[in-house]
Amino acid sequence: MKGNQYAVIGLGRFGSSLAKELVKLGYEVLGVDINEEAVEEMSQTLTHVVVADSTDEEVLKSLGVRNFDCAVVAIGDDIQSSILTAILLKDLGVKSVVAKALSDLHGKVLEKIGVDRIIFPERDMGIRVAHQLVSPNLLDYIDLSEKYTIAELAVPKRLTGCSLKEIDPRAKYGCSVVAINKKKGVIIAPTAVDTVEERDVMVVIGTREQIDQFEHAVI
Ligand code: ADP
């Protein structure tokens, strides 16, 4: 088991998937849900599970939640419970409180309470899927800032054997290939003579427009 301990409150679709993945990654996870069935379903997977109402301060205290490194409020639909739980966790002094928000307003309230990280799973996944639909070779991306992005682009068959000098994204589009992920390993900071093959993945950094142009012209 790795050091950090996580409490996941609300074992719906999001919470249970998050909790399972944390266990897979080797962390201890306490799962809490008011619904007995939801808890029962996760009882074999998580380190500890408890049927409890997280809006009850005494319950949270008795679970020792304050000793956890991070607590995730994965209650969505019941906004009141989500907000009350987040306030209690902050008050109890949990180091890092993460909460899922269903709407911008819900997110704003969580921010005002002092929640350390707010996630909008449905909104963010919608945006991600839209990008991937219009750019089939875009495997994934991370926005570094308002302007800059790192994207993973799948290399199409017709670029097989081409060197970066031939593709020349920096001179033609202003974006740079910072790594090439090949079956046999990753080439970090590739040089002009490095070549790509079909199914390699190019990791490209640049503005969204530059990457978009590169992708549509070359890939
Ligand atoms: P998802 O969209 O991820 O499935 P839901 O909002 O449907 O999210 O589910 C959230 C989970 O949180 C449900 O399993 C529900 O029983 C649980 N939950 C709601 N209120 C509380 C509460 N006060 N205490 C503990 N668990 C709660």
Instruction: State which amino acid sits at residue 18.
Output: L
Average pLDDT over residues 174-182: 97
Q: Residue 80's pLDDT band (boundaries 50, 70, 90)?
A: very high
Q: Provide, rounded to the nearest whole percent, the portion of the chain with pLDDT above 90.
A: 90
CA-to-CA distance for 179 and 152, rounded, in angstroms?
9
DSSP SS3 for 1: coil
Ligand 1 centroid to residue 114 C-alpha, Å: 21
* pLDDT (0 to 100) of residue 132: 87
Measured between alpha carbons, how far is residue 35 from residues 38, 54, 75, 100 in Å? 5, 11, 12, 18
Nearest to 172 by CA among 211, 131, 143, 145: 211
Q: Which residues contact 167 (CB under 8 A, 6 or more apart)?
A: 159, 177, 196, 218
Pocket of ligand 1 (CB under 6 A): 9-15, 32-35, 38, 53-55, 74-78, 81
3-state secondary structure of 81: helix
pLDDT digits (tens, 9 = 90+) for 30-76: 999 999 999 999 999 999 999 999 999 999 999 999 999 999 999 98
Asked if ipTM goes beyond 0.90, one says: yes
The domain segmentation of the chain, as residue ranges, is: 5-120, 135-218
- What pLDDT, on a 0 to 100 scale, did the predictor assign at position 2? 63
Ligand 1 atom closest to the Cα of residue 54 is 24
CATH number belonging to domain 135-218: 3.30.70.1450
Report the pLDDT value the prediction gives residue 168, as an integer from 0 to 100: 93
CATH, range 5-120: 3.40.50.720
Ligand 1 atom at minimal distance to the Cα of residue 74 = 10
Q: What is the pLDDT of residues 141-171, one digit of tens each?
A: 999 999 999 999 999 898 999 999 999 999 9
Answer whether residue 78 shows pLDDT above 60: yes
- In this prediction, residue 76 carries a pLDDT of 85
Task: Give the Cα separation of 40 and 2 in Å (integer).
Answer: 25
Mean pLDDT of 203-219: 91
Task: Output the residue whose Cα is nearest ligand 1's atom 21.
Answer: 34
- Token pair, residue 63, equals 């679970």
